[in-house]
Amino acid sequence: MTISVRVISSVVSTLFYLLTILSTLADTFISKIEDMATMMNNTAAKTKGAGGKDSGQSRGPTTRLPRGKRRAQLLSCAVTATSRYGIGRVGHTQVADIAGISVPSVFRYFPTREALVNAVLGQVERKFLTLARHSHQSKSPVREAMQEHARGFIHIARNEPEYARIWLEWSGTLRDDIWSRFIKLEKKLAKIIVDDIEAREEVLEELTPFEAALALNGVAHVLIHMVISPAELSGDPERLAEHVIDSLLRLESTPNTRPHREK
Which amino acid is it at 33?
Answer: I
Counting residues of the chain whose pLDDT is more than 90, the rounded percentage is: 45
Provide the pLDDT for residue 169.
93
Is the pLDDT reported for residue 185 higher than 80? yes
Is the pLDDT reported for residue 4 higher than 90? no
pLDDT tier at 3, thresholds 50, 70, 90: low
What's the average model confidence in pLDDT over 38-56?
47
Give the CA angle between residues 219, 225, 228 to the nearest 5°. 140
Is the pLDDT reported for residue 38 higher than 50? no
Contacts of 28 (CB under 8 A, 6+ apart): none
Counting residues of the chain whose pLDDT is more than 70, the rounded percentage is: 70
Higher pLDDT, 116 or 10: 116
Which amino acid is it at 148?
Answer: E
Is pTM beyond 0.75 here?
no
CATH 1.10.357.10 domain locations along the chain: 12-39+65-111, 115-248
Q: Kindly report each contact of residues 242-245 with a partner whose C-beta sits within 8 Å and lies 24 or more positions away, as own/partner.
A: 242/147, 244/150, 244/215, 244/219, 245/143, 245/146, 245/147, 245/150, 245/216, 245/219
Task: In whole angstroms, give the CA distance from residue 34 to residue 133.
Answer: 38
Is the pLDDT reported for residue 174 higher than 50? yes
* Bridge partner list, 251: 204
Question: Across the chain, what does the average pLDDT equal?
Answer: 78
Higher pLDDT, 211 or 3: 211
Q: What would the pLDDT profile of 90-101 be if each residue is shown by its tens digit?
A: 999 999 999 999
Residue among 77, 74, 142 nearest 105 (CA): 74
12-39+65-111: CATH architecture? Orthogonal Bundle (1.10)
Please tell us whether the domain made up of 115-248 is placed in CATH 1.10.357.10.
Answer: yes
Residue among 154, 166, 168, 161 nearest 236 (CA): 154
Provide the pLDDT for residue 53.
44
Q: What would the pLDDT profile of 219-236 be if each residue is shown by its tens digit?
A: 999 999 999 887 756 688
φ/ψ of residue 123, rounded to 5? -65, -40
Task: In whole angstroms, give the CA distance from residue 47 to residue 50.
Answer: 5
Task: In whole angstroms, give the CA distance from residue 6 to residue 16.
Answer: 15
pLDDT tier at 40, thresholds 50, 70, 90: low
* Bridge partner list, 204: 251
Q: What would the pLDDT profile of 143-157 be if each residue is shown by its tens digit?
A: 899 999 999 999 999
- In terms of Cβ atoms closer than 10 Å to its own Cβ (0-12, 13-18, 19+), residue 241 is buried
